[in-house]
Structure 1
Amino acid sequence: MGIATDYVLEELRLFRAGLGLSQDDFGKAIGYSGSHVSSVDTGGRPPTKEYMRAIDERYRTGGRFVRMLERLAQLDAEPTWLREWIEFERAATTLRWFELAYVPGLLQTERYARSTLAGGRFAAEDVDRIVASRLERQSILQRPRPPQLVAVLDEAVLRRPVLGQPGLMAEQCEYLAHVAADEHIQVHVVPMDAGMYLGLAGQFIIAELPDGARVAHADNQLSAQIVDAPADVATLAKTWEVVRNEALPRRQSIELIKEVAKSWT
C-alpha cells in the first residue's frame, strides 16, 4: 500500500474517531458491518466509491471522501477505472479468473499486453502507461505470500491470431505453460469440444479477501463493474463452478497449451 493510500485510510480513521464512534456504530450508520469498517481501517480491503459515498451522504461532508478517493486514483499510475479493483486484487488471498477473449492480465507477456491495446483506442503515451501498470500488477504473484490464482480460459484465447505480430502467440503460450507450473498458479482450459457452456455469457473474476469476504469484477466494452452484493457474488460463484467443471484438469491443460504453442511456430 502506498503513502497516498495510507493517508486516505488515516483520514477515515481520524474522521470516525472524531465522531466518537466504534467501528460497529460507524458501520451501522453508513450501512456496513463493523467487520467491514475494521477491514478498511486496517487496509485489509480498500475503501470503494460506494463506501466513501455512504460516509459523505450520512455525514453531509460535501463529497469530501469521494473526492479523496478520486484524487488517490489520479496520483496512481494505474488506470483510474481499474483503481478500485486493483486494490482488491492486491489484498486477495485467492483469485478465480475466467476469460473468454484474452489471456488473464496477470499472466500476459509485455508484447501480448501491448497488442490488447491496439486499434487506436489510446494515445501512445497512454499505452505505455497502461502496459507498465499491468506488468507491475503481476508482482503480486512473486511476493513472499502470493495469492492463489486459478485461471480458466476458453481454448479460443490460445488460438486467436494477433495479426502482424509473428511469434507473439507462441511466446505467450510458452510463458503461460511456464508460469502454470508454479504451485500457486493453476491454469485450466475449456476445450473447443465443450460446445456451448455457461461461461460464454462473459468473463469475470472473483477475489477472496483475508476476512473471508468475496468481491467480483466484470467488464464489457463500455465499463468495468465491481460486484460486492453477496447474492450477486454467489451467482457468479455458481457460474464459476460450472465453468471450472467444463475445463480440462491442470496437467492436461498445460499439455494443450504447449501443443498450441508449437502450432504457432
Structure 2
Amino acid sequence: MPPKPLAIDVDDLRKRYESGKSLAKVASEVGYSVSTVYLRLRDAGVPIRTRAVGNKIGGTLRRSALHADVARLYGQGVRVLAMAQQLGTTRPKIVRCLGDVGLPVRSGSEANTIRLRSAGVRADVTRAAHLKFGDGNRELAEELERRGIAAEREHIVDHMNVDVLAGGTLAVEVHRPGASPLSVESRERQRIVDLLHRGFPVLYVWAYRNSRCRYDVSACADQIVATLDLIHKDPSAGRQYRVIRGCGQVVAIGGTELEHRPVVLPPHGRRYGTCHQR
C-alpha cells in the first residue's frame, strides 16, 4: 500500500516562498525537506527562482532588516561605531545604511545628547560616572547615617547628580579638584545656582586630594548637621550655599547672586597658607 502524501499547506508554502524566503528557509520553518517543499511548490505552479535571483532577494531582505535596525538605534542616540558592534557589521556599512535612509552621520557628542534625553539613561550614566570615584561620598553618607540622618547617595535632580542628599533637604557635594567650585569658569558654580533654583540648599565639601588640609569626614558631618539645624530654624538658610574645606572650615556662604560671590581661599598646598586644623 503506497504511503499517503504529506498533509502540507501549499498556500502557506507559497506565501512564505513569495515573501522572498529561500527554499531552505521555508523547509526549516515548516519542518520538511527542501526537496519536498520544492516538489509541492512546483506541482502547485509556483515559479521556482534560480539561485542567483534568490541570493539577490535574500540580500535585499537582509539589507532591509539592517536598515530598520540602524534607524532604530539611530533614534536611540547610539553612535555609529557602537551600532556596528551591536549589529555585527562594519562602520562603513552603517554609514552607507544611514545615507540610504536619508539620515546624517552624527558626531559622538550629538549622539550622546540624544541618548541623554532619556531620564533613565541619563541617571544610569551619571550615577556610574560618579560612583567611580565616590569613596569620599560613601564615607560621608555612612557617617551621617551613624548619626541618624538620612543620607541618599547619587540622588538625581534633573540632569544633575547630587553626591549625598542629607536629611532629604541638603545637597552635599564632595569637590575633589583643586580649583575653586565658585570660580567663574567652573561648572560647579552654575550647578550651585541650578540646585538652589530647584529648592535645594547646597553644601560643597572642598576636599582637594593633594591638600594639606586633610579630608576629615567627622568634621564635615558636623557642618552638615549644623547646616540642617540652621535650615530648620531659619528658612532663608534653605536658599543658600556653603563651601567648606575638607577639614570642616567654612570658607564661603552665599545665594543665587553668584556674580557677587564671596572670595574663596586657595586650596591648602605647599605654597599656600595653613589651616586651623594644623
Settle same-fold status: TM greater than 0.5. Answer: no
TM range (shorter): under 0.3
Higher relative contact order (CA 8 A, sep 6+): 1
Normalising by the residue count of structure 2, what TM-score does the alignment of the two structures yield?
0.24
Normalising by the residue count of structure 1, what TM-score does the alignment of the two structures yield?
0.25
If you compute each CA radius of gyration, which structure gives the higher value, 1 or 2? 2
Tell me which protein shows more helix as a share of its residues.
1
